């Protein structure tokens, strides 16, 4: 029997950062991973996608992009960072085990150790700890569409491994994943069609920002079909995607179809029922403050709890869990969660949207600023953009939504201030470097 202070199942951003943090505070940790170190984010999500976004941006500026070279660069980046995570997992206090984990009870995890390595562990090793953290992430959610399993219909994971650029790409879903890939492949010259069931893309983002981004992508040649439900996918030489729009059936041809209709928590095969851990349709049910499940000592962080499917959310949820175990107080505010879409231009947000404020009957003031009035934006030819910021009656910032170059960086500044209950006037009173895009934040009207 291997006894530790904490067992972590999954080595994505939530898992490996939590393991390192716990070890730094003197705890013994075993972290179990059945696939590649780094999880979805590093291997088939955030990192490889952003590498391609960068190359697509260069292509949009007229720099020749060799698709094979792009994919090779992407893979080199992934392998370099994966090696870094594996090295991090070798630090004192951490035991990294490759294998498939299953809960036996509230304190025991049984691991079928892979042949690739598990140290001195046997083929079926048992680990015990007073605290178990489940960080198994999520997978692509496949909707019930006739023909969705045929060759050429892929998720983002498979799309990141293709060796040939598709001439015609159809994307089902206009969320973050769908729009980022639409931006990438359109920049490379592919014909891109996005089919979305909802009225607007990016339903979690401010409606005005989402609409503006869609219009900009349309100007660049991305075809959108909103309020459309895909009925079937067939193959006859090429792929045929049939969908209903306003009572009419439409068919579009494709060389490749990307399914980007959301993600589902990885809860299968974990033995949750043996340990008595409760799940719902989103994932593992947790306390929203401590991320402890209904079983004392068992926690779930990141995508697997279905609360905030963002890599950085998983990281900070994990830090909160360790602090809770150690009895340490922290200032992490998980209600203020910035997010971004790395299209061209970027879209980013933090806090409440205009729709949410209106629905809650909140009294608020809207402040706006435009990239076209900013000197740096003009200098770098990035004049397409808008900043929307909402304040309450005490001038405290309730939310900020940006469409434009470096939106993710600018939103982060606002998120920092919101974590300190900051006001718009305090933002205006903060000296900003000239010339920078962030000066737009000080000139909102």
Residues 270-294: tens digit of each pLDDT: 999 999 999 999 999 999 999 999 9
The SS3 call for residue 70 is: helix
pLDDT, residue 114, reads: 67
Please check whether residue 210 is in contact with residue 226, taking contact to mean a CB–CB distance below 8 angstroms.
Answer: no
Percent pLDDT > 90 in the chain is 94
Report, in this order, helix, strand and coil percent for the chain, each rounded to 5: 35, 30, 40
pLDDT, residue 116, reads: 53
**Rounded CA separation 96/8 (Å):** 10
Residue 179 reports pLDDT greater than 90: yes
Q: How confident is the model at residue 61 (pLDDT cuts 50, 70, 90)?
A: confident
Comparing 433 with 60, the larger pLDDT belongs to 433
Average pLDDT over every residue of 81-99: 96
pLDDT, residue 424, reads: 98
Percent pLDDT > 70 in the chain is 98
Residue 351 reports pLDDT greater than 70: yes
Where in the sequence numbering do the catalytic residues fall?
434
Q: How confident is the model at residue 1 (pLDDT cuts 50, 70, 90)?
A: low
Q: How confident is the model at residue 138 (pLDDT cuts 50, 70, 90)?
A: very high
pLDDT, residue 119, reads: 47
Query: Residues near 234 by Cβ (< 8 Å), separated by ≥ 6?
Result: 147, 150, 240, 242
Average pLDDT over every residue of 89-118: 88
3-state secondary structure the chain: CEECCEEEECCCHHHHHHHHHHHHCCCCEEEEECCCCCHHHHHHCHHHHHHHHHHHHHHHCCCCCCHHHHHHHHHHHHHHHHHHHHHHCCCCCEEEEEEEEEEEECCEEEEEECCCCCCCCCCEEEEECCEEEECCCEEECCCCCECCCCCCEECHHHHCCCCCCCCEEEEECCCHHHHHHHHHHHHCCCEEEEECCCCCCCCCCCHHHHHHHHHHHHHCCCEEECCEEEEEEEEECEEEEEEEECCEEEEEEECEEEECCCEEECCCCCCHHHHCCCECCCCECCCCCCCECCCCCEEECHHHHCCCCCHHHHHHHHHHHHHHHHCCCCCCCCCCCCEEECCCCCEEEEECCHHHHHHCCCCCEEEEEEHHHCHHHHHCCCCCCEEEEEECCCCEEEEEEEECCCHHHHHHHHHHHHCCCCEHHHHHHCCCCCCCHHHHHHHCC
Please check whether residue 363 is in contact with residue 391, taking contact to mean a CB–CB distance below 8 angstroms.
Answer: no
Residues in the chain: 445
Concatenating the DSSP letter of every residue in 179-200 gives HHHHHHHHHTT-EEEEE-SSSS
Average pLDDT over every residue of 110-122: 64
Cβ atoms within 10 A of the Cβ of 356, count? Answer: 15
Q: Write down the mean pLDDT value for the chain.
A: 95
Q: How confident is the model at residue 36 (pLDDT cuts 50, 70, 90)?
A: very high
pLDDT, residue 75, reads: 97
pLDDT, residue 31, reads: 98
pLDDT, residue 120, reads: 45
Please check whether residue 437 is in contact with residue 378, taking contact to mean a CB–CB distance below 8 angstroms.
Answer: no
User: What confidence tens digit (pLDDT) does each residue in 259-269 have?
Assistant: 999 999 999 99
Q: How confident is the model at residue 441 (pLDDT cuts 50, 70, 90)?
A: very high
**Rounded CA separation 62/189 (Å):** 11
Which residues, listed in sequence order, are joined to residue 105 by a DSSP beta bridge?
108
**Rounded CA separation 180/51 (Å):** 11
Residue 121 reports pLDDT greater than 80: no
Residue 117 reports pLDDT greater than 70: no
Q: Per the structure block, which two tokens stand in for 167?
A: 């001439």
**Rounded CA separation 248/119 (Å):** 60
Comparing 123 with 373, the larger pLDDT belongs to 373
Average pLDDT over every residue of 43-64: 93
Residue 62 reports pLDDT greater than 60: yes
Judged on CB neighbours under 10 Å (0-12, 13-18, 19+), 337 is: middle
Q: Which helix (H) or strand (E) holds 67?
A: helix 67-88
User: What confidence tens digit (pLDDT) does each residue in 298-345 have?
Assistant: 999 999 999 999 999 999 999 999 999 999 999 999 999 999 999 999
pLDDT, residue 115, reads: 57
């Amino acid at each position: 029997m291997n006894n530790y202070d904490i067992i972590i199942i999954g080595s994505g951003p939530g898992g490996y950062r939590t393991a390192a943090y716990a070890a730094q505070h003197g705890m013994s940790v075993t972290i179990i991973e059945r696939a590649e170190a780094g999880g979805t984010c590093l291997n088939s999500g955030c990192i490889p996608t952003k590498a391609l976004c960068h190359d697509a941006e260069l292509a949009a500026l007229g720099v020749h992009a060799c698709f094979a070279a792009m994919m090779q660069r992407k893979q080199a980046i992934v392998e370099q960072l994966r090696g870094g995570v594996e090295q991090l997992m070798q630090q004192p206090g951490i035991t990294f085990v490759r294998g498939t984990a299953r809960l036996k009870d509230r304190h025991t995890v049984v691991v079928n150790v892979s042949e690739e390595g598990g140290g001195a562990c046997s083929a079926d090793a048992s680990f015990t700890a007073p605290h178990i953290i489940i960080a198994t992430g999520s997978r692509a959610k496949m909707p019930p569409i006739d023909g969705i399993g045929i060759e050429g219909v892929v998720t983002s994971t498979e799309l990141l491994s293709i060796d040939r650029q598709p001439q015609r790409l159809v994307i089902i879903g206009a969320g973050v994943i769908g729009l980022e890939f639409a931006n990438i492949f359109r920049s490379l010259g592919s014909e891109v069609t996005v089919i979305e069931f909802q009225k607007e893309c990016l339903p979690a983002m401010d409606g005005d920002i989402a609409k503006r981004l869609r219009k900009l992508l349309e100007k660049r040649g991305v075809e959108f079909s909103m309020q459309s439900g895909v009925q079937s996918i067939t193959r006859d030489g090429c792929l045929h995607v049939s969908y209903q729009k306003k009572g009419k059936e439409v068919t579009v041809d494709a060389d490749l179809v990307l399914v980007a209709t959301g993600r589902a928590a990885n809860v299968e095969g974990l033995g949750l029922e043996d340990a008595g851990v409760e799940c719902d349709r989103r994932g593992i049910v947790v306390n929203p403050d401590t991320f402890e499940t209904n079983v004392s000592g068992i926690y779930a962080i990141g995508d697997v709890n279905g609360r905030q499917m963002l890599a950085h959310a998983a990281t900070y949820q994990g830090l909160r869990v360790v602090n809770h175990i150690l009895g340490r107080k922290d200032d992490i505010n998980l209600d203020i969660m910035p997010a971004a879409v790395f299209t061209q231009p970027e879209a980013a947000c933090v806090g409440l949207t205009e729709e949410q404020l209106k629905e809650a009957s909140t009294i608020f003031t809207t402040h706006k600023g435009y990239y076209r009035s900013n000197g740096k934006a003009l200098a770098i030819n990035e004049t397409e953009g808008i900043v929307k910021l909402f304040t309450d009656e005490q001038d405290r910032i309730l939310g900020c939504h940006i469409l434009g170059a470096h939106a993710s960086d600018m939103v982060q500044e606002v998120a920092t201030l919101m974590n300190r209950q900051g006001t718009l006037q305090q933002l205006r009173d903060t000296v900003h470097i000239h010339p920078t895009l962030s000066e737009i934040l000080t000139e909102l009207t």
